[in-house]
Structure 1
Amino acid sequence: MTKTTAPVRFAEGDPARVGYARVSTADQSLDSQLDALRDAGCGIVYTDHGVSGTTTTRPGLDAALAHLRAGDVFTVVRLDRLGRTTKHLIATVEQFEADGVQFASLTEGIDTTTPAGRMMFTVLCAVAQMERDLIAERTRAGLDAARARGRKGGRKPALTPRQVEQVRRMRHEQDATLEEIADTFNVSRSTIIRVLNAPAPTNA
């Protein structure tokens, strides 16, 4: 269980530049990120130690976001310290913009307080959209190829054709109950009902 730690404060930094640092495992050190954020002028840095980027709730990040006010600059060392996914990252920065908060990522050179930094973020959004479009295109191409070979996309059937035959025999010839058949094939009762209600295959 992670614990919330007090933020690190740098007296020489700008209180309006709010930093955030994170490492995924307890044996990793936050020192390099803290040094970089101090050098970038952060007056306060919130941290998460031993918290994966895929974790929905991150106490340090939640505290940092609650601290932000319009005019603040939220700063991270790398983009992956903030966002679980590109989609999540973009949504977060867009929310910053709506709240009047600026964003900076030191490694990627993104700083929405500058025209160049805003352009970098726009490029990031465009790349993310292109990735989504490519994934969708590959998915459609894969489904088209599968259909061309006589296969349909979707979830694998719970029962093989041979098992479907056995289900029908158990029900119609052996008078087995739906529960008995479902237990035999380790599937739900509703699956057995669907199999029995489906048209029986015809042999050409």
Structure 2
Amino acid sequence: MARIGYARVSTNDQDLEGQLKRLEAEGCDVVRAEKISGASREGRAELETIISFLRPGDELVVTRLDRLGRATRDVLNLVHECEQKGASVTVLDPNVSTRGDMGRVVITVLGMVAEMERRFIKERQREGIEQAKAKGKYKGGRPRIDHGRVRQLRTEGLGPSEIGKQLGCSRMQVYRILELPASERPQERTRTSGGL
């Protein structure tokens, strides 16, 4: 019987450290982590590895329910798969486990509430953007990575891996930026110093 921790953040610039420390402090024998969106299960290799290796009596531990997934259906499917293998799921905040019948109900309710909350946030955000556009104040989101700096470093002879290291992003993000046609590029700022 093992306690297996799973930590997840959605983007490369988010920090996993807090989740990792919490899971280790809770006595997880193994902790696996990844930086990928929780919108679907696709591409979440670390989570799939955990699920495939679960044995009867094992416990999958996450700090919060949304670390498992963003959609209630995905979370419930994961819980079901764990139960089929004789394993349980424990969420640390709030402290709930699927070992008892009540835990399964609580996880279902939490998933539904979280999904509804995300829909409300998106709706409010959409309304705010529409109002800002109507007033001529909306200029769109600022790109997280300075596209101009990526191109500048490329012209200086750096490869995608080195550019990614310098700017704190993945090699694939660098490739995507370099492949963008000029018509789709965000307005680029000229930089006089390195860094982000």
Query: Normalized against structure 1, the TM-score is what?
Result: 0.50
CA distance in 1, matches of 2:66, 2:110: 16
Percent identity reads 37
1:26–1:68: structure 2 CA closer, same or farther, 3 Å change rule? same
Alignment CA distance shift 1:128-1:73 (3 Å): closer
List runs of 5+ in structure 1 lacking aligned partners. 1-14, 133-204
Q: Secondary structure at the match of 2:29?
A: strand
RMSD of the TM alignment (CA)? 2.5
Selected match of 2:21 from 22, 28, 35: 35
Q: Which residue of 2 aligns with 1:170?
A: none
Q: Select which of 49, 54, 68 maps to 1:82.
A: 68
Hey, what's the Cα distance between the residues in 2 that align with 1:104 and 1:127? 13
The match for 1:125 is 108
The alignment covers a number of residue pairs equal to: 114
* Amino acid corresponding to residue 104 of structure 2 in structure 1: F
Could you report, residue by residue, the CA deviation over 1:47-79 in whole angstroms, capped at 9, with x for unpaired residues?
112x11114221111121122111110011111
Contact kept in structure 1, 2:60 and 2:89, CA below 8 Å: yes
The equivalent of 1:52 in structure 2 is 37
Gaps of 5+ in 2: 116-196
Q: CA deviation at 1:82?
A: 0.5
Distance 1:41 1:88, change over 3 A: same
Q: Which runs of 4+ in 1 moved over 6 A?
A: 127-132
Q: 1:24 to 1:100 in 2, by over 3 A?
A: same
For 1:123, the aligned partner's letter is V
The structure number with the bigger radius of gyration is 1
1:157-176 maps to which residues of 2 (within 5 A)?
A: none
The amino acid across from 1:26 in the alignment is N
